Amino acid sequence: MGKFVIKTGKTGVRFNLLAGNGLVIGTSEIYKSEASCLNGIDSVKRCCVGGVQDLTDENAAAVKHPKFEVYQDKAGEFRFRLKARNGEIILASEGYKEKKSCLGGIESVKKNAPDAETVREE
């Protein structure tokens, strides 16, 4: 089972979503308060049921929010971001060399996020 790990740093509070094997699936933005960070986690749990829009395919149909967007970064790696109902990015992935792996990351979010516990890292 996955978990959300909250980390407090010098610039604010953020969370990582970890898969059952402990690997990071996605990372949040930096929030000013823990309460805002917890709201971000709740938003990921609610929005991870969204569809997938592949921005690397010019023929792909548009998908309404909430949604996962798959894109290629400047280094040519595939990444995804989860956008909430209001269009704000609430979770972002690492870079993947293959699109298939990126899509697997999305499936991991869908599997792990809804029931993931929340823990604080000291």
Instruction: Give me 91's structure tokens.
Output: 């979770």
Rounded Cα–Cα distance for residues 80 and 118 (Å): 22
Asked whether residue 121 carries a pLDDT value surpassing 90, the answer given is no
Every domain of the chain and the residues it spans: 3-121
Per-residue confidence at 122, pLDDT binned at 50, 70, 90? low
Write out pLDDT tens, residues 14-60. 999 999 899 999 999 999 999 999 999 999 999 999 999 999 999 98
The structure's pTM equals 0.93
Take residue 36 and report the two structure tokens written for it: 């805002």
Per-residue pLDDT of 61-70, as tens digits, reads 899 999 999 9
* The CATH number of domain 3-121, selected from 3.40.1160.10, 2.60.40.10, 2.30.29.80, 3.40.50.2300: 2.30.29.80
